[in-house]
Amino acid sequence: MRRVHFVDVFSADPFLGNPVAVVLDAEGLSATDMQKIARWTNLSETTFVLPPTVQGADYLLRIFTPLRELPFAGHPTLGSAHAVLSVGWTRSHGRLTQECGAGSVVIIPSSDNGVAKYQLQLPTAVTSIVTPGIVAALIDILGCELDQSREPRVIDIGPKWLVAKISSIERLLAVTPALGALRSLEESLGITGVTVYAESPGGVEVRSFAPSQGVDEDPVCGSGNGAVAVFRRLTGELQRGERYTATQGQCVGRRGRVEIEIGAEGEIGVGGACVTTLTGSISG
């Protein structure tokens, strides 16, 4: 039997964030076993905590969607940090260092009036502009015009998100993508999914779709929000030192809040609250 924690990420209130299943004591599980468990939980991601293989890391984290493994993902990273600390793992110098397919990721835990919060430093992004044909296909799939002042880009931070801006929250919330066509587009481009956003008075509203990963719409996506922050930084919407809060999930009955911080050197922090909703054990 292996311990498993279900953690809601980007919400201090249970059942309103994005849940991740964190399997502790994952030694001895094969990649096939992990994929089978992730398919069974049917969450956007399930993680597996293993001993680190590189010096300086506190643990190795493997991250699976229902269909495949990811090198990195945001909400699973934060939720897994919450889980390992809740079972007594110690941290050095006030932080945790996670080893994963994208390299080492630093997570800084904190507390805000008793609410557990965590911030990760986003891996270095690689970006590319897409062709007009892909933009036209995306518009057709989303059934919505894009903000023409911002060219869509692929943002690679481990997961690869095609990011685009929509001109209003009303249009964003009305988007109903053609999921079959979107899956084909994702597979043809070799990307994880599509994240779209619109500006709001307090920050931005975000939606993330990844049917090729078995996730039609991710409730609250850390890497998707990180990719939006990279996009906004590149297109001049954000400057160094700025902070904002993104909201996500209302179209799927959630209420996630993602805290974004642009550092003095342009590094991007992605953070939010975490709360454990269920603990138990899993066979295997």
Say how far residue 109 (Cα) sits from the centre of its chain: 17
With beta carbons less than 8 A apart as the criterion, state whether 10 and 273 touch. yes
Measure CA of the first residue to CA of the last residue in the chain; give whole Å.
Answer: 6
Tokens 């690869």, residue located? 160
- Antiparallel, parallel or unpaired: β 46-50 and 18-23: parallel
Number of other CB atoms surrounding residue 207 within 10 Å: 25
> Active-site residue 259, yes or no?
no
With beta carbons less than 8 A apart as the criterion, state whether 242 and 262 touch. yes
Q: Is 48 helix (H, G, I), strand (E, B) or coil?
A: strand
Catalytic residue among 27, 45, 237, 265: 45
With beta carbons less than 8 A apart as the criterion, state whether 92 and 85 touch. no
The residue type of 34 is M
With beta carbons less than 8 A apart as the criterion, state whether 279 and 3 touch. yes
**What's the rounded Cα separation, in Å, for the pair 248 and 255?**
6
Between the CA of residue 99 and those of 28, 77, 81, 112, 133, what are the distances in Å?
Answer: 18, 10, 12, 26, 37
The residue type of 199 is E
Per-residue tokens: 237: 């919407």
Active site residues: 45
